[in-house]
Amino acid sequence: MGKLLVLSLIAVVSISSASVIIKLVSTAAPALAFWRLAITTLLLLTTSFWRLDLRCVRGVRTTYVLVSGLMLGLHFITWIESLRYASIAVSVTLVTTHPVFTALLSYLLMGESLRRPQYVGMLTCVLGISIMSLVGSLTIRSYYGVLLALCGAFTASIYFLAGRYLRQSCGLAEYVIPTYSVATLTTLALAAGLGVDLINYTPTTWGLIALLAVGPMLGGHTVLNYLLKFMNAATVATVAACEPVGATLLGVVVLNEVPDTHVVLGMLITLLGVYMVLRYEGVSS
């Protein structure tokens, strides 16, 4: 359990940096999503290609890979685009409501169940992130940004569920490389269809894009995919729901956004909710 907690912390810190990096780059959402996925996939292929065994994704699992990759690509595009219309606090809070979608879909589609304290923890987590980002700042600059963030939450929940199924029979590399590849092609297709520039960037922009791939993708999403082997989908999704806390703290350091009292209160409640979910998680051996 100690190892899983450490990995959960690494994942939270990594994914929390994404919104700050995205705010520093003016590149279109499909382009950012494409390069974030493409760089990560190439790095993983470089280190895992010779020992990659894709037999576990044959048959019906191929469909799960396609769904997982498609949802991941759409998740990145919709959420990144939402940051153009809504603040980090509003966008990140709304996109991290995916534990609610995940829990409902886990029950309806996969028959997964949580212990009662874990359900309470999930609700506590949602309450915390709502207080942190919505109380005291109810003005949302664009309902379009809100809709995009909620679409990002829903697609993320399907991505987590598909990953949960595949990770029971696939190694980490065997799952993430095909999934990231499908997501990469999804974002490339949308970028090409919209006529988005994928090449002409400044060195600073390229550096931030590379950082977006190495940090949030490798240290964040890839670690979360590893955790799916030992935790159920709703629990991993709840770990990821700590992102508003980390994003707010990074916003203080990088963007000089000092949180108000209600934000600090929301952080504490969110962390309490996540702890409740993890505390009662039945970890497999």
Q: What is the pLDDT along the chain (285 residues), one digit of tens a residue?
A: 678 888 888 898 899 999 999 989 989 999 999 999 999 899 888 887 777 776 776 766 788 889 999 999 999 999 999 988 877 777 888 788 777 777 778 777 767 777 788 788 888 888 887 887 666 555 555 578 888 988 998 999 899 888 877 877 777 778 888 899 999 999 999 999 999 999 999 999 999 999 998 888 888 878 887 887 788 777 787 787 788 888 878 888 888 877 778 777 887 888 788 777 767 665 443
pLDDT at 183: 96
Q: What is the value of pTM for the model shown? A: 0.81
Tokens of 56: 């576990």
Longest dimension (CA), the chain: 53
Tokens of 22: 């995205």
Residue 111 — left, alpha, or beta (φ > 0 → left; ψ -120 to 50 → alpha)? left
Q: Considering only CA atoms, which of 222, 39, 220, 72 is closest in space to residue 158?
A: 72
Instruction: Give the separation between CA 238 and CA 245, rounded to whole angstroms.
Output: 13
